[in-house]
Structure 1
C-alpha cells in the first residue's frame, strides 16, 4: 500500500534563482528558499521516494498530461523571464511506473490523462525551481503534471487529484509528496513599473483577499474555500486558473478535508503576485 506522505502549496518565483546571484537582490528570497529546504527535510524524514508536482507553468490545451520520463537533464532558461532564470542546470530521475499508474487511474475515473515517458518534453520552471532547493542531490524521483489548464473545469482537476490519491494508496508501493506549485493571486506588475513591485502585491484588493484565504486555510474552512475557489481564481488572476490548488484539494478530500494549513514561508509579494509555502496534513479520506 502506498501513501501520500506530504502535501503542500508552494511558490516557484523566479526571483528565488535571482536571489542566489551576486548583486543588489542577493538573498532577497532566502525565506522562500528556506521554506523549500524545510519541506525537503520533512520529505526525507517521511521516507518519500517521489515528488509529484502540479506545475502551473506547463500549459496544455486538451486533456491532462504527466511528464514521467526516466531521466530529466538539461540547462534551462525561462522564455518568460530570461533575465531572472538563465542557464539553470538540472538533472533528476523520473518515475515512469508512477506516472503511467496515475494516468491509468485518472482515465478510468473519467478524466482522460496521458503519461509521457518516452519523450523529449522538458520540465517547466514550476517544477525546476522547487527541485533546485528540495532535490539538489537527486534524492527524490520527480514526476510533473500539467496544471496550466486552459480549457478545463476545476471540478475535473479535483477529480484528477482524488484519482491520484486513490491510485497511490491502492496501486503504488512507495511514498509520494504532492506539491501544488503556483501562487495565490497572480496579477503581474504592469510593464514599466515591475521593478517597483519586486516585493509587493499588485493591489490592496488582491493582497487582502489572499490574506483572508490564508486565514481560511489556517482555520480549516475548506467548505467555504472550495465554494469560492472558482470566483477567487478568476477575480484574483489565479496562476494556472488555480488548477494546481484544485488538484491538491482533490488529493486531500476537498470540502470534507479537516486539516489546517501550516505556513512554512509567510505570505509575500513578488512582482505583483501573492506567494507562500504552506504544508497541509494528510488525513484519511
Structure 2
C-alpha cells in the first residue's frame, strides 16, 4: 500500500531562476529557493520516491491531462518571460505507473482525465522551477498534472485531487504532492513592472492573501473552501486556483483542519502573492 508523505502549496516564480544570475536581482528569491530545498530535504527524509505536481502553467482547454513519460530532458526558455528564464537545462525521470493509476482513478470517478506517454510532451515551468531546486540530482521521479484549467468545474478538480489520493494508496511507493501556483495572481502593469518586482499589484489582493494565510495557519478550511470560488475570481487566481482545489480534494476538502506550516512566508512577486507551505497530513485537528 502506498503512502502520501508530504503535501504542499509552492511557488514557481521565474524570478527564482533570475535570482541565481549575476545582476541587480541576484539573491532576490533566496528565501523561496531555500523553502524548496527544505521541502526536498523533508521528502528525502520521509523516503519519497515520486513527486506529483499540479502545474498551473500547463494550460488545457479540455479534460485533465497527466504527463506519463518515463524520462524528461531538454533546455527550457519561457515564451512568457524569456528575460527571466532562458536556456534552463533539465533532466528528470518520470513515473508512468503512478501516472496511469491516477488517470484510472480519475476516470472511474467521472473525471475526463487522460494519461499521455508522448516524447514531445514537455514539462512547463510550474513543474520545472520546483524540480530545479528540489530534484537537481534526479532523486525523485516526477508526474506532472495540468492545473491551468480554463473551462473546468471546481467539483471535477476536487475529484481529481481525491483520485490522486486513491491512486497513491494503491501505488507501491511513497509520494509527495505539490500544488504549484500562486495565491493572488494579478500581474503588475507593464510600465510598473520593474518597480513592482517585490510588490502586490493591488492593496485588495495583498489584504486577501494575508487573510488566507491566517485561515490556513488556523486550520479553518471550511471557511476557506466556501470563499475559494470568489477568491480565485476576484484575486485572479493562477490557473483559477485549480491546483489549490486539487490539493484540498487530496486532503479532505472542507473537512481538513490541519494547521499549515509556512516554510517560506507570504511574499509578493511582480504583483502576485506567493508562499511555500506544507499541509500537515492529519485530516482532523
TM-score clears 0.5: yes
Alpha-carbon separation, structure 2, partners of 1:102 and 1:62: 17
Distance 1:234 1:161 in 2: 20
Matched residues in 1 for 2:36 and 2:118: separation?
29
User: Can you give the 5+ residue segments of structure 1 that lack an aligned partner in the other structure?
Assistant: none
Alignment of 1:268-283 (within 5 A): 268-283=267-282
CA deviations 1:113-139 (Å, max 9, x no partner) are: 111123311100000000000001000
Q: Does residue 3 of the first structure (1) align with residue 3 of the second (2)? A: yes
The runs of at least 4 consecutive aligned structure 1 residues that moved more than 3 Å come to none
SS of the residue 1:196 aligns to? coil
Q: How does 1:172-251 map to 2 (within 5 A)?
A: 172-251=171-250
Question: Can you list the C-alpha shifts for 1:82-105, whole angstroms capped at 9, x where unaligned?
Answer: 000000000000001110110011
SS at match of 1:114: strand
Aligned residues: 284
Task: Give the C-alpha shift of residue 163 in structure 1.
Answer: 1.2
Residue 225 of structure 1: how far off its partner (Å): 0.2
Q: Report the counterpart of residue 168 of structure 2 in structure 1.
A: 168
Compute the displacement of 1:264 (Å): 0.3
- In structure 1, what is the Cα distance between the partners aligned to 2:200 and 2:249? 28
The Cα of 1:284 is off from its aligned counterpart by: 5.3
3-state SS, counterpart of residue 197 of structure 1: coil
1:29-48: per-residue Cα shift (whole Å, max 9, x none)? 00000000000000000000
- CA drift at 1:258: 1.4
**Offset of residue 81 of structure 1:** 0.1
Question: 3-state DSSP class of the match of 1:245?
Answer: helix
SS at match of 1:7: strand
| Aligned twin of 2:21 | 21
Q: Secondary structure at the match of 2:81?
A: coil
User: Shift of residue 247 of structure 1?
Assistant: 0.2
Q: Deviations over 1:207-234 (max 9, x none)?
A: 0000000100000000000000000000
CA contact (8 A) 2:37 2:134 kept: yes
Gaps of 5+ in 2: none
